[in-house]
Copies of this chain bind each other. A is one copy, B any other.
Amino acid sequence: MRRILLKVAYDGTNYNGWQKQPDVVTIEGTINETLSRILEEDISIIGASRTDAGVHALCNIAVFDTNTSIPAEKIAFALNRRLPRDIVIQESREVPLDFHPRDSESIKTYEYTILNTKFPLPTKRLYSYHVHKDINIEAMKEAAKYLEGTHDYKSFCLAKTQVYTTVRTVYSITIDKEGDIIKFTFKGNGFLYNMVRCIVGTLVYVGRGVYPPEYVKEILEKRDRQEAGPNAPAQGLILANIEYVNKEELIIREDKC
């Protein structure tokens, strides 16, 4: 028995998210079916991040166990020949049998893209959130500072989320504007369900002057989802990278795209 790690890139547009569910097409379900057919075993992958419907990835991580004799690095090629074009395995390799992509300490990088123009651009529509109103970048940067560090992010996740703790550590939130594109980069040790989209939606409220930057600190302290802004739409979000910090050999992918 070997444990194989996959680096998975996908365009989430046509999927009901990562996690397999009955009767809908998901990334996990599609990879399970394709792998099971190739390896002639019943394969269930375990993903590092269960991205939501419409969210994209440059590099999600998944593992599965197999008895196959196919060399680990060939599995990416075999999968890519059979997967639809909107899911592409970037790498496959063997990892220790005790490596678990969710239980191992990691730094996840999410990027969120806003197109800030009068009218949407068709070639950006699947990968950005179009905002036609003026956005104050400096105000958003100021507000974002309150959200860095270790906090209880209960105000910024789906109210009904059932998790052991809503405390997470966000190492950094950077916001850059280049031309009409505003890019948010989040690095953290984990993110709650909808957390990045809720933070972006709240920061856009700040950027549009609906909330003053300091109000974000108040939202955080209130621990109440109703205080935060709306979720920014899924298509602007991409899981860019996952680095496993305690296992040097598993550091995955430098930010490249």
* Residue A18 is within 8 A (CB to CB) of chain B in the complex: no
Q: Which residue of B lies closest to A238 (CB)?
A: B123
B80 close to A125 (CB less than 8 A): no
A136 to chain B, nearest CB (A): 20
Identify the A interface with B (CB < 8 A): 9-11, 56, 58, 76, 80, 85-90, 118-127, 179-181, 238, 256-257
* Bound-complex Cα distance A178 to B206 (A): 32
B58 close to A121 (CB less than 8 A): yes
Known pairs A90-B118, A118-B90; A123 contacts B9 (CB<8 A): yes
A89 close to B58 (CB less than 8 A): no
Identical chains in the assembly = 2
The 10 closest A-B pairs by CB, nearest first: A11-B122, A86-B122, A179-B256, A11-B123, A56-B123, A10-B122, A88-B119, A90-B119, A9-B121, A88-B122
* Bound-complex Cα distance A63 to B94 (A): 59
A127 cross-chain contacts in B, Cβ below 8 A: 123
Q: Which residue of B lies closest to A83 (CB)?
A: B122
A85 close to B10 (CB less than 8 A): no
Contact pick for A121, options B76, B88, B126, CB 8 Å = B88
Contact pick for A179, options B87, B118, B120, B257, CB 8 Å = B257
A115 to chain B, nearest CB (A): 9
A256 cross-chain contacts in B, Cβ below 8 A: 179-180
* Bound-complex Cα distance A196 to B121 (A): 22
A89 cross-chain contacts in B, Cβ below 8 A: 119
* Bound-complex Cα distance A209 to B1 (A): 43
Known pairs A180-B257, A256-B179; A56 contacts B122 (CB<8 A): yes
B257 close to A124 (CB less than 8 A): yes
* Bound-complex Cα distance A56 to B121 (A): 11
A11 cross-chain contacts in B, Cβ below 8 A: 122-123, 125
